Structure 1
Amino acid sequence: MSTIDFVVRDDAGNFQRGSMGEGTGQTAVALSDGADISLNLYPGQIAGYSRAGTALQVILANGETLTIEGFFNGTGEQVLFVSAGGELSQVNLVAGEGNVLYASYEEAGDFGKWSPLDDFFFLRGPEILVTDAAAVAAEDDGVGMLLTPLVGGLGFLSPATVGAAAVGAGVLGATVVRPKDGDDDGGQTQGEIITRPDVEITGGTQGTGHIVDGTDHADGVTITGTGEAGGAITVTIGDATAETVVDGDGNWTVTFPSDEVPGGTYEVPVTVVITDENGNTSTAEDIVELDTETFVSFDEDAVEGDGTANAEEVSDGVVLEGTVEAGSTVVVTVGGQAYEAVVEGTTWTCTLPASDVTGGEYELDVSVTATDALGNVATTSGTVTVDTVTTLTIDTASVETDGTVNRDERSDGVTIGGTAEAGATVVLTVSGTDYTTTAGSSGSWSVEVAASDIPSGTYDLEVSATSTDLAGNRTSTSGTIAVDTVVGVTIDTDIEGDGIVNAVEREDGITLSGTADAGAQVEVEFNGAVRTVTASGSGTWSADFTRAEVPAGEVGVVATATATDAAGNSASASGTVVIDTHVTNFGFDSAPVAGDDVINDAEADAGVTIGGTVEAGSTVVVNLGDASRTVDVGADGTWSATFTGSEIPPGETTVPVTVHATDRAGNTAVLNDSVVVDRIVSPLTGSENVTADDIVNAQEAASGITLAGTVEQGSSVTVTFEGTSRAATVAADGAWTVDFAASEIPPGTYTAAVSITATDAAGNVRTITDSFEIDTVAPEVPLVTSTDRGVDGLRSVGISEADEGIAVTSVSASGDKTGLGFEREVDTRYDEIDLHFDSPVSDGSQLVISSTDAAGNQNASLFVLDESGTNVVDVDNPGLEGFDIGSIDLHFALDSELTLSADDLHKLSRNDNELTIHGGSDDSVTIAGATATGESQTIGGRSYDIYSLGDEGGRVIIDEDINVII
């Protein structure tokens, strides 16, 4: 027994060492994917290699087998090395016949030089018994080798080819050296020579190219081979074992009964062990491959889609089909005739010619035999239903018992029947209508034919039928049925010459007439009255009805004549007698005159139409007040009369309407009605005064204006002012008002034109105009040109303007306002007006000098005086409210400091959002957010810079000498 060391390197580069061999009790090692292995062996100690699935089997020269599981796992490339005595060789394997592998050895490096394969080297030899044809001395090299490998027993083959020579379909005899008792450990050791017997499998297995088919299996499974003459052979297949002895020629044969090796399609290992007379053994292995069965099926239900072949389907041949093992041949036998089927893949088909399928109704036997590629045979059978015939009759002689359909029998439909194959579908065609039914289990069938499909009269009715049985076979037949349903009768209701009975014609009654079969009794019914008369030999009849039996009014009365002949057949005819004894459908249109029964002026000017309906053909005369029209009546009974504006009274009044109608019979009728005429809007007025003085100034315009007036109750009013139109609000009493916003009042001094348009409830429209004055232009700002100051305060000021509306107001620091009295004096020398105050104005208050024009527009100048303790000009002083400040004068107050914002500007200068500031170089003005426009203007001979302020177009005009801070 041997002990073989090994080392394994996994795909991560980790190494693992171990031992295997019969001396360790472990003869196999399993590799992970991508792992490599090195065995502690010389190449000459290996007899050969073989493959078993994914395992590599290493057959040693002493007959032992080492198994490396997972070597051929298909996902990695494992490498096998062998190493002993400091030498390393890579084993390159090439597939041979069967599972045999041929090996060559490639030097992989020398021990002592660094290499990534260093861990695969073994310095000592393995503990193994080696093969040879003669005893060989074993040298103890001190590194663990028991014996040196010899190759003489393998015919002196080189180590690179020994593996290929040693392994085939069996195992060659091997010579093994065993140590003898008493050998010492110095020098050489003698051994006993033992030779293993030869054994080889030569027949009955997969390795020999044989497959056990059904025929083979029936006679038993036979395995043959060669071996050492006289050797005992034990063959094992699965759980079965057979034994024999090699004959003198070196051949052996065993046969396993078929019941010991089950039939089927599968593979099973076979092992052959030979034991010679000395007890030495050798083993050979192979595979027994069995294929002893096949299959075939016949799909009865697939024949022509339903398992039944009808006449039409038989006509082009009947297709049979089923399944079979691929590669098989199939023979179909029907009625003693064999047909070779077509096999495609696992499906076979066979077409039976129509000539080989006899017509009728029967079950056709089918036998199918399949032979696969190995000669295995399978058989199946089945039946095909053949149904190619069917039957059909129509029983016309029994229709309505006697084969004739009279009128009464026709009235509720006629039953027609016959016979067909049970379960067949029967379609009866009568007068182009198909009636479908199914034959019962006895084969009888019947349908109910509607009277509408059996025309009245005396004639032969053609009928036809088609039957389709359950197998799909069709047949048709036809016949005739006698029909006699007619007795003639007519009635003429187109009486009195024009088909209408008028009042005069009704007075002497009416006569109805018609035709019928000669001698027939005719019963005539009219409006509940009945007359019975006999048709003359020429086939005519007549019946009289009195005035009392003829209803009055406009109505249609149905008259019916029923004739009964001698055979009892009866028939009826009817018609409508039209009676018209008075004017009908006489009335006005449902729509009111002029849309609302009120005629306004525009409607009157356009003409007014009055219409209605009456019996067609009548004459109509329409009167509107004193105007009259005779009009035609349309075919649809409508009439209309149109009256001009001159025929319709003016103003507001009610006019009578009278309509006279006479129909074609002379009947008369009268309609009376009236219509309202409203052709004016009254009253309609505008505002007397828009404001107290009928002049809108700037302050009044800033609040918007309201225009007002009166109008006819129920009217609407639209007012247009300076291009803006707006609907007014009209009260129930007719008072109207409308507002216009400040933004809709153009500034300036002008006469405003107003247009007032009213539409009354009748639709009349009237427009008037009005006007009032607009004056929103403020007077010039008073400009202080001089002052007269005394020790007790300001005595007078000189201004450049001489408007009559000059006023001076003193505003204290707390906001108190005091109107100042003064005396005006014209100073022609300086071209100014001097205002001499009744008493001096002391410092600490400011002056507002305002100018007001006749319209009430104001413009003012804030005249700043010195104030003790501060130079700041307070523009938020509440006393400035109510003034329109157009300028601020800082000339006469030293070192004034004025700060303005956009809100301050808007609050001070309500007229135009513009402020002029007078002053000198000692004054300063802060206007945060302002922008210098770069523009300037001249006031009083001085230059002023212009600044824009705020988002509403504000402007500040400042004396150029004033210090401006932005």
Structure 2
Amino acid sequence: MTKIVVYSKDHLIPLQNTQNNQIVLNKNSLVLIHHPKESIASIERSGTSAIIHLKNGETIVLENFFNLEGTPENQIVLSNPQGYYDVMLLDEQGQLIQYNPVNNINVLANSPNWISSTQVNAIQAAADESTPWYSSNIIKGGLALVAAEALYLTAFKKDDDKDNTPKDTIAPATPKGTLDEAGKVITGQTEANAKIYVIDANYNVLAEVQADASGNYKLSLSRDIVNNEKVYVYAKDAAGNSSSLLALTGTKDTLAPEVESAQFSEDGAFVTGKTEAKAKVYVYAEDGVTVLAGPITAAADGTFTLNLNPPLSSNDKAKVIAVDEAGNKSTAYEVIVGQDTISPAQPLIEVSTDGTLIKGKGEVGTTVQILDANQNVIAEQVIGSDGTFNITLNPAMTDTSKYSLMLKDSAGNQSKAVELKLGLDTLAPEEVQATLSDDGKKLTGTAEANSTIEVKSGTTVMGTGQADASGKFEITLTTALLNNNKATVIAYDAAKNASPSLEITGTKDTVAPNKVVLRTVTDDIGDSKGSITSDSTTDDSQPKFEGTGEAGATITIYNHGIPIGTTVVTSNSTWSFTPIKPLELGEQSISFTQMDAAKNTSDMSDAFKFTVVAQVSVSESEENIDVESLLSEDNGANSNMRCDSFKSLMIINKLSKFL
């Protein structure tokens, strides 16, 4: 397997250290692949993924490597056996232009990920001019650095040859560490004198310290890490090598639970609702002090039911409060006997980038209200029977607008408000419509316009692509989907909302059936009937063969390798065959193959051997046969006993009737 390290492009913080050939990039990244450039066969783009083919047959898939315009959001670096690194320089379409050497990957922080054809031509032309090429206005910032190393590869290697100082390229081991219960302090161990950094999910550095000579460290975070937030610890040695990340989770719970819904029964005898799983739930009187019911513990899915004794009367009010295991207390949720007090769920919405259109999905029959900063309703619409809404804003909202959206039902219950922003998108694409080609290699279909399509079998990505402006897409799978194996197809919009998954099945059959199984061979004529066993004799020249095979397959029967007939396996996987033409007397060697509907043929079965002899009727005259005269029979040439082997067999067969 190939070792791959993913660094953040801005600060070169290690994000992943893996041997997994399927990598999802969630941030502008530098991908270090521990292979020399000579091992790369090709690189190609599939949707927003980069697919790297190695000469050893391995394939590396980097998801989200390209943006929707086709230019790479990330950079690929290869390790070089001579101690430096080779950077893949790509054009706007992700095509490889050349490899550029760098001494240290630290110089690549915030450098360009790609170079335009105009810039390539300018760099090459500048190399022949007397004016320094790097003074050209076309060459900017980090691009100049990358291009300079490319143009002067020879000089680089000469300089490198002069430097015989051993280089430390070994990263420290992943540090060990523990976050205290309060989420304030991390203590642990790492490489002696290494620098320890702590970052959050947004790559903000929360603390840094140098380990002592024994590798011990302790640092206080700039803010508390609580409520299952994760932070990441890594070590960097004096040579600049960074370790993998150690993830630590702040387990202290400071978030109050929420009563999502609560409703009285019509007779006021009980309250049902939903809150945080395992929270303690109480029903208080309208004064918020007197406990009417509870506590009870909410189920694993958060649902609860509390009985009131005595029941409350019509229009009586009460308050439901939940307290989680950490002691955090929810706000009160008011319930009224005889009234609907269940709030609509928050809708899923999409706001256009120009602020003119808001569309979404929500509870049928509720009213969508858009509110300004002063909570004035500036637009509203009732959600129809299909559960969708489309609201046009005139004038359009801007990036400074303080708008919110909520749903209101006929009882006056309101959903949580959603703060609106240009481009906000919580609305998932519709399910993909797709068809797999007969050979299982190509998927065509329609999805949300400009969405990214991903095809997966289990955890393995088989292909990615992008729908065009009309929603059409075509994806060539990296591996054909065959033999009733299944895969899922999901569309992701620009906000990474996932559509419902579509299951597809590869119907092409490339698997040959198993060998034919012969169960019985039966003699059903003559005086001696019954089962014929291997290497036995029979006087039935048309015995019945029976066995099992693949349903619907065609079985070919061979005798001494020559086909003598066919039969079809029934739906219950059984078959039978009786030769139309009698088998000749003597030894038989019967074998079988089966071919399924896709023309896949099984291996030849083991041969079943037996001998067919002539039929003999036992008559009254035969019972008085003269054995001596029988043994003296010849072919008319002389009186000596000169029988051929077949005649001897016939004589023995006749004699056996009297033994």
Bin the TM-score by the shorter chain.
Answer: 0.3 to 0.5
Q: Which has the higher strand share?
A: 1
- Structure with the bigger RCO (C-alpha within 8 Å, sep 6+) is 2
Larger Rg: 1
